[in-house]
Amino acid sequence: MSKFLRESMSKFKELIDGSTAVLVDMYADWCGPCKALAPELKTLKQSVGDKVKIIKIDVDKNTEVANKFNVRGVPTMILFKEGKILWRQSGVMDAAAIEKEIESFL
């Protein structure tokens, strides 16, 4: 593994290992459903505030992260807290449905 990949994975691991929940949106620029999910995640962020960090990971630019978490389709959302996967879903959902799914983990 190159130094860049090790540093990239290290930064990602540091982010998801915290006590604050992190919702990771695995997406691709060419993906239509990913573009449809983006405004839903903005709405979700307004609703959940600082209870959840929401980050986007481009699977084409971060293949090591996508492979590590076995992402085979986009969009895929993965909720992490303290390094553990708490919830995972592929496909587009509206903000209210996402919030309902992850609420019990917050």
Residue 40 and residue 98 in contact, taking contact as beta carbons nearer than 8 Å: yes
pLDDT digits (tens, 9 = 90+) for 69-102: 999 999 999 999 999 999 999 999 999 999 999 9
> Which residues are annotated as catalytic?
31, 34
pLDDT of residue 14: 87
- Cα separation, 78 vs 90, in Å, equals 9
pLDDT mean across residues, the chain: 91
pTM score, whole prediction: 0.91
More confident residue, 97 or 15: 97
Give the mean model confidence (pLDDT) for residues 21-35: 97
Query: How would you classify residue 63: left for phi > 0, otherwise alpha for psi between -120 and 50, otherwise beta?
Result: alpha
- Cα separation, 37 vs 76, in Å, equals 10
pLDDT of residue 2: 44
The two structure tokens encoding residue 33: 């459903």
pLDDT of residue 1: 44
More confident residue, 106 or 23: 23
The full set of domains in the chain, from first to last, is 3-105 (3.40.30.10)
